[in-house]
Amino acid sequence: MTEREFLCIAHRGASSYAPENTFAAFDKALELGARQVELDVHFSRDGHIVVIHDDTLDRTTDGSGAVSEMTLAELRSLDAGSWFGPEYSGERIRTLAEIFEQYKGRLYFHVEIKARAEGLASRAADMVRAHGMTEDVTITSFWKPWLEETRMYAPELTTGWLVPLGRDSSWDYSIIEQALELGLDQVCPRADITTPELVSKLHQKGFVVRCHGAYSEELMRRAVDCGADGTTVNFPDKLMEYLGRRQ
């Protein structure tokens, strides 16, 4: 498998090297040669789609409390970079629209519907359509209802389900059948429970297999060696180097 064929997806941007889900992290992904990134979305109190991983502000900003209880103006005022390093103090929480405007034509996006908020998937799809990016985005979620919402509202979009699928799961077939019924394109198992057998089974059913949770180089290599089609990774440079070595 070549570097071009395997989806090297910078997780929350190149989040090993810059504060996750910020311009700095996406810029770094580009600088390292990645062309695909993953990000997480929530609603602000006033209904804007903002790019941040946690439900709360405490870990990755100088604010505190729930993202969903702050207006966009309040969220924009926060420092989303200093927690990672003082050189990133200018980083801000961005809207999905700002991210699309900044990187359209340069990055492919895996948008994770993170908040348990009805309507978020549909509004994200509106944003994708408004930017003419239906070919440049995959919508993902751990939560089936948000994928159902996406399939109903925007069937033209590529979809991927982040699943706890693997050797210790007793509901493998149920997940696969549900994914087939929903017409999802990707099944996204954790790297640590991905096996060649699982990948083969999913390929037989027609799914793209995109791993997540490759938090170490060992797990990153596992995703590649199991025959998966891609993975998110915090250090895309190391993944590209590994893929290059295998050519």
Q: Which residues are catalytic?
A: 11, 53
Question: Within positions 115 to 174, which residues make up the interface with ligand G3P, using CB under 6 A?
Answer: 162
Indicate the SS3 state at residue 21: coil
Please work out the total of residues on this chain that contact ligand G3P, with binding judged by CB under 6 A. 8
CA atoms within a 13 Å half-sphere pointing along the CA-CB vector of 123? 17
State the minimum distance, in angstroms, from the CB of residue 112 to Ca ion: 4
Pick between residue 75 and residue 233 the one whose CB is nearest to ligand G3P.
Answer: 233
Q: Does position 212 bind ligand G3P by CB under 6 A?
A: yes
Q: Does 40 bind ligand G3P (CB under 6 A)?
A: yes
Inter-helix orientation angle 217-225/236-246, to 10° = 40
Q: Does 232 bind ligand G3P (CB under 6 A)?
A: yes
Closest CA to 158 of 184, 182, 180: 184
Question: Counting contacts by CB under 5 A, is residue 20 touching Ca ion?
Answer: no
Q: Are 60 and 76 in contact (CB under 8 A)?
A: no
Neighbours of 39 (CB within 10 A): 25
Residue 229 as a binder of ligand G3P (CB under 6 A): the answer is no
Residue in this structure with the two tokens 């991983």, named with its chain if needed? 53
Applying the rule CB under 6 A, the residues between 75 and 114 that interact with ligand G3P are 112
Site for ligand G3P in 9-38 (CB under 6 A): 11, 38
Q: In sequence order, what E strands does the chain have? A: 7-11, 36-43, 49-51, 94-95, 108-113, 137-141, 158-163, 186-189, 208-214, 230-233
Which position's Cβ is nearest Ca ion? 112
Q: Whole-number minimum distance, CB 27 to Ca ion, in Å?
A: 19
Stretch that binds Ca ion, among 32-40, 151-159, 186-194, 220-228 (CB under 5 A): 32-40
Considering CB distances under 5 to 8 angstroms, the limit depending on partner class, which of Ca ion, ligand G3P, none binds residue 162?
A: ligand G3P
Q: How far is the CB of 5 from ligand G3P (least distance, A)?
A: 19
Reading the block at residue 246, the tokens are: 């295998």
- The span of 16-24, 33-41, 177-185, 197-205 binding Ca ion (CB under 5 A) equals 33-41
48 interacts with, out of Ca ion, ligand G3P, none, CB within 5 to 8 A per kind? none
User: Beta 108-113 vs 36-43: how paired, if at all?
Assistant: parallel
Measured in residues, the chain has a length of 247
Q: Measure the CA–CA gap between 200 and 241, rounded to whole angstroms.
A: 25
Quick one: 68 or 89, whose CB is closer to Ca ion? 68
User: Among 20, 91, 112, 172, which residue sits at the site for Ca ion (rule: CB under 5 A)?
Assistant: 112
Q: What secondary structure letter does DSSP report for 108?
A: E
User: Minimum Å distance from CB 157 to Ca ion?
Assistant: 17
Q: For residues 112 and 118, give the distance between their C-alpha atoms in angstroms, rounded to a whole number.
A: 14
The site for ligand G3P (CB under 6 A) is made up of: 11, 38, 40, 53, 112, 162, 212, 232
